[in-house]
Structure 1
């Protein structure tokens, strides 16, 4: 019922938003000689704010059509190397002849698209052959495609690494650190040909018993049945995934915004003021952020429920109780995959110590194959986006990859 109510409201408001877009464009038209007067700018700003009061369920663009490599600008094209119903192994192919280290960036599946890691990819791209897990919106996946839970997530990581071949590197951001560590352990135990040469785990919940955050407390504050009853719904008939049980992206977005409501309100008031004053460059920065932030995707119900239960309530990986396809996951089997863990000092989603715990689990790795970095002053997003990532964290990731190239 929750999803149907959301869909009905969205459908009802679309004509209103369309009218607001038309009114805004009319006021700002060059043919209107009064469009830049203060009263009309303010009116146009109001219409634009109304037209933006919506979520999108389509993946935004990565906007990576070119990149500077060395001293020249090279073209970048997106190449789909492997496609499943639930995700695409997407390569950012560069127009260069030089062979570079192959890197798989594993994006979180937590209500937003992989384009949230646009800045992460852009930083890696000049010196690496970058691929990303471009996850699909569960509401667009037909029921015939089957289930997608934690086992299937790990299987996707293994399949994608296999597609890249021996000697590739993997970088996991946030939530998938658990699944990537599990995949590396499974591959090591199987002596898989494509076991990654290095593994970077960034701000991920390896052991949520350490320094619990508000997110962790929320997960443990209710039994798993509460999450199934209150947060899971069925995709309406108007979408390709009709009938699939999902954790809706709009619910996750609401939860995120509820953590900092004052900040989001202030940002939108600032956006209105910038538009009213004609400060369009400043307004564009805010609009770009919220265009990405308001692009949401639904999670398959089984993946969401299993993640809450296995990772945030039962700590299965940290306690040595996680299984994959019925077999126990053994991080101690990892012997050749170098490990780098990265945490942010001010991370309020995945706190200090939770990712570092991977070192205690990887008992088969010699000390020289392990490294940890705590980034001073960085919050959660600062670990993989922005200046601290570019100038202080990325060089460590690059060095790990280069030192483990065959």
Structure 2
């Protein structure tokens, strides 16, 4: 019922958005007097804001075709190098990249948004590295015969992607995937896997949410797991390839995040309306671009979502040493070769200060020269991996860390 009701609302709003967009264009037409004076520009701007807010959205493209390094522009090639039912492995490589450039796997969150949310992360790192990224699928588009997908599968996918890339791969986990990525690194170190990552960088990750809990953490703790299973899990309707699959819908995730900062979102749209009235198209377009990405959401499987709530936010299984993979206990003390960099934002309201840094204390057998902590001043959650502070202040720290730990077994700074 929940998903069907949403689909009905989406269909109605889609039609209303189309009519609003057409009406806005008519009122803005320079051939009509209404476009120059009176209430015309105000009404046209209001309709354009509504049309943008109500428009349906699909998966956005990365759209990274070039990059500039030292004043020179290089072309960037995007390709799918491995296809799996619940997610592909993408590669981005710039022209004339040095042969010894590092391989970097960016593990994108499976948290309701597409991997394109990390477009800025990829665009910056492609300057100096051969960048791979996990392109997770929208669960409602994965046929039921593909089976289930849970935390165990997520870890297996990460390990499989690293194996495909090869030895001495560096790994970057942004937010939610810090937990399964750290688990994958521990498993590969324990097995002395030849492709165990040379380094693992975690940014704004909920390794131990008992440290500086945020409103997101509190929400996950306020209700028992049964409440989430009953109230936020829905069945994909027959109009999608994944019909019958149980999912946590992306539209619910978006509604939750929007409600957390509803006032700010309303003010952003009010500012966009004012920009349009004044004819400041560039400022309005910047707001539109942000919300085009922010509102592009996808579903995640119920198994993965519920296990994440249970083990990451409620039971704190990994920091307590009680996290299992395929029936085997994960030992973070097994990490002896993979250098770990923990990055946090001073103003992060999603993963509080100390939650990511906890990984450094949990890797008890990793030498101090293979551990590093960096706190980015005046940076919120999204600023850790997007924007000018990411590009100018945080990315250089990551690049330096990868350069210090180029290969497994190589001394720092070699």
Output the CA distance in 1 between the equivalents of 2:294 and 2:178. 22
Alpha-carbon distance in 1 for matches of 2:37, 2:292: 27
Runs of 4 or more, structure 1, over 6 Å off, are: none
Alignment-derived partner of residue 149 in structure 2: 148
Aligned to 2:61: 61
Mapped to 1, the partners of 2:124 and 2:173 lie a distance apart of: 15
Structure 1 residues 1-400: aligned runs within 5 Å: 1-29=1-29, 31-32=31-32, 35-37=35-37, 39-54=39-54, 56-96=56-96, 98-99=98-99, 100-400=101-401
Q: Aligned equivalents of 1:367 and 1:168: distance in 2? A: 21
2:14–2:56: 8 Å Cα contact kept in structure 1?
no
> Shift in Å at residue 245 of structure 1?
0.5
Report the alpha carbon displacement of residue 48 of structure 1 after superposing the two structures with TM: 1.2
C-alpha separation in 2, matches of 1:269 and 1:200? 38
Distance 1:97 1:289 in 2: 30
User: For 2:192 and 2:37, how far apart are their aligned partners in 1?
Assistant: 69
Alpha-carbon deviation of 1:80?
0.2
Instruction: Decide whether the 8 Å contact of 1:54 with 1:294 is kept in 2.
Output: no
SS of 2:242's partner is coil
The question of whether the paired residues in 2 share the 8 Å contact of 1:88 and 1:133 is answered with yes
TM-score, normalised to structure 1, is 0.97
Q: CA deviation at 1:205?
A: 0.5
TM-score when scaled to structure 2? 0.95
1:33: how far off? 6.2
Instruction: Identify the range of structure 1 (232-241 vs 8-17) with the bigger mean alpha-carbon deviation.
Output: 8-17
Q: CA deviation at 1:13?
A: 2.6
**Would the aligned equivalents of 1:57 and 1:297 in 2 still touch at CA under 8 Å?**
no
Change (3 A) 1:225 1:28: same
| Displacement of 1:74 | 1.5
Cα distance in 2, alignment partners of residues 310 and 271 from structure 1: 40
Deviation by residue 1:330-354 (Cα, 9 ceiling, x = unmatched): 1111111111001111111111111
CA distance in 2, matches of 1:9, 1:314: 36
Displacement, 1:32? 4.4
* Secondary structure of 1:132 counterpart: strand
User: What CA distance in whole angstroms lies between the structure 2 residues aligned with 1:292 and 1:306?
Assistant: 26
CA offset digits 1:93-140 (Å, max 9, x no partner): 222252211000111111111111111111111111111111111111
- 1:38 Cα shift? 5.6
Contact 2:178 2:203 in 1 (8 A): yes
Aligned 8 A contact 2:30 2:36 in 1: no
Secondary structure of the structure 1 residue equivalent to 2:126: helix
Compute the displacement of 1:14 (Å): 2.2
For the residues of structure 2 that align with 1:307 and 1:57, how far apart are their CA atoms? 26
SS in 1 for 2:340: strand
Contact 2:93 2:126 in 1 (8 A): no
Alpha-carbon distance in 1 for matches of 2:42, 2:289 = 20
Give ranges in structure 2 of 5+ residues lacking alignment.
408-414
Q: Is the 8 A contact 1:41 1:278 kept in 2?
A: no
C-alpha separation in 2, matches of 1:197 and 1:84: 24
Number of positions where the alignment pairs a residue of Structure 1 with one of Structure 2: 406
Tell me, in whole angstroms, the C-alpha distance in 1 between the residues paired with 2:339 and 2:59. Answer: 33
- Are 2:97 and 2:128, in contact at CA under 8 Å, matched by a contact in 1? no
Deviations 1:180-226 (A, max 9, x none): 00000111111212100011011101011112111111111111000
